């Protein structure tokens, strides 16, 4: 009879909440102290707002990356 022993190595947990955290256009505008139309207009004209590019969701809404908005607000 042949027996095999397997050992498992613990994997590092990934904080998916920080990666996937996004804001709606209205939430992002409130955080940045601008009107939502300012974000939309800048996206239409330049393709970004201060270097931040949102993800267009299947329902045609925009999802702005919260970590990039936080970095813009803190000067990082």
pLDDT at 76: 75
Q: How far apart are the C-alpha atoms of 73 and 52, rounded to whole Å?
A: 12
**28: nearest Cα among 39, 19, 44:** 39
Domains parsed from the chain with CATH numbers: 21-74 (1.10.1660)
Q: What is the pLDDT of residue 61?
A: 93
Distance CA 43, CA 58 (A): 18
The 10s digit of each residue's pLDDT in 3-59 is 666 666 666 665 555 557 999 999 999 999 999 999 999 999 999 999 999 999 999
Tens of pLDDT, residue by residue over 58-75, are 999 999 999 999 999 999
């Amino acid at each position: 009879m042949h027996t095999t022993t397997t050992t498992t190595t613990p994997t590092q947990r990934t904080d998916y909440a920080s990666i996937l955290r996004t804001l709606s256009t209205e939430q992002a505008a409130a955080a940045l102290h601008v009107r939502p139309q300012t974000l939309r207009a800048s996206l239409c004209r330049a393709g970004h707002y201060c270097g931040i590019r949102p993800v267009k969701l299947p329902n045609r809404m925009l999802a702005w990356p919260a970590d990039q908005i936080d970095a813009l607000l803190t000067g990082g």
